[in-house]
Structure 1
Amino acid sequence: MRTTLSLDERLYEKMRAWADRDNVSINQWMATALDREDSRRRNQAHNDWLVAHPELANALDEQDRIAERRFAEGREGVG
């Protein structure tokens, strides 16, 4: 899918400089920046959920500890 963006000339020149610095095309630089921002927002939403639901976050942590312990116990004697 292609999308056309209209950018302020100053912003475009900054993006060109950043892309040149990273030795990538402007399109690649923008795609990477958007992916990074998307990841940042999803991580922030996840962290916000954990803070809003500490009891569930603790239960999930406990489930992880149980799974790790069971995995480690299953690996004993292997090899």
Structure 2
Amino acid sequence: MARTITLRLSDEAYESVKRHAEADRQSMNTWIESVLDIEDMRRRCVAHERWLSAHPDAVAFADSWADRNLDELAQR
């Protein structure tokens, strides 16, 4: 189910969002959603990087697994 979130922007922020959305030829809602999607992906990548840093054994295992898969594909 979709949720609606209301953002309250200052007049200055509203005009800024409006300018960016118009420059990208998008509605303000679409433009804001894309900015939020980008920020969400950035945060997920940061969390993933932290997890990888904290689990070097898992990273080494995944690297070995990937190398074996590539070797197998090369033999086909």
TM-score, normalised to structure 1, is 0.83
Q: Which has the larger radius of gyration?
A: 1
Q: 2:36 aligns with which of 13, 34, 46?
A: 34
- The CA deviation at 1:66 is 0.7
Q: 1:63 aligns with which of 50, 60, 65?
A: 65
Aligned partner letter, 1:40: R
> Which residue of structure 1 aligns with residue 12 of structure 2?
10
Aligned residues: 74
* Cα-to-partner distance string for 1:38-71 (whole Å, 9 max, x where unaligned): 1111111111111111121111111111111112
Aligned partner letter, 2:17: M
Matches within 5 A, 1:17-28: 17-28=19-30
Cα distance in 1 between the residues matched to 2:50 and 2:19:
34
TM-score, normalised to structure 2, is 0.86
